[in-house]
Amino acid sequence: MQVLSTKEEMVFRRDTEQYGTFYTLGMSKRNQDGSYTNGYMDIRFRQGVDIPNRSKIMIKDSFLSFRIDKDKKTIPFIMVLDYDLKSIPRDEDGYREIDYKEEDLPWN
């Protein structure tokens, strides 16, 4: 089943020593009383993807899949095949960490 999104989605990242990196997608829905309920859904990317915590992405191509946990429960997740990184969160000083190569600097 294909998953389509027309807005930027916030991705949360959790790093573990034992199992590696996990991502979840933040979701919310409006209740009848006007309040909101927040939830999360597992999201996976192709191998080698590295997205900072609390980044916003635009999903271009994805599908709904699932895994079976140790208790034989079905756990759905969104498998993202293609996306655009729209924003990276800033640290407490207001700066973003940027990866660069020495040869890319203008004075080299």
pLDDT digits (tens, 9 = 90+) for 8-59: 999 999 999 998 999 999 888 899 999 999 999 999 999 999 999 999 999 9
Tell me the CATH number at 56.
Answer: 2.40.50
Q: Is residue 4 part of a domain?
A: no
Range of the domain at 47: 9-104
Which residues, listed in sequence order, are joined to residue 67 by a DSSP beta bridge?
75
pLDDT digits (tens, 9 = 90+) for 54-97: 999 999 999 999 999 999 999 999 999 999 998 887 665 555 55
CA-nearest of 4, 1, 13, 9 to 60 is: 4
Three-state DSSP state, 10: strand
**Could you tell me the two tokens for 104?**
């890319």
- Count of domains forming the chain: 1
Taking the C-alpha atoms of residue 102 and residue 54, their distance in angstroms, rounded to an integer, is 27
What lies within 8 Å, CB to CB, of 6 at 6+ separation is none
Residue 2 lies in a domain: no
Phi-psi group of 93: left, alpha or beta (phi > 0 → left; psi -120 to 50 → alpha; rest → beta):
alpha
Give a yes or no: residue 24 inside a domain.
yes
Flag whether 67 is in a domain.
yes
Answer yes or no: is 50 within a domain: yes
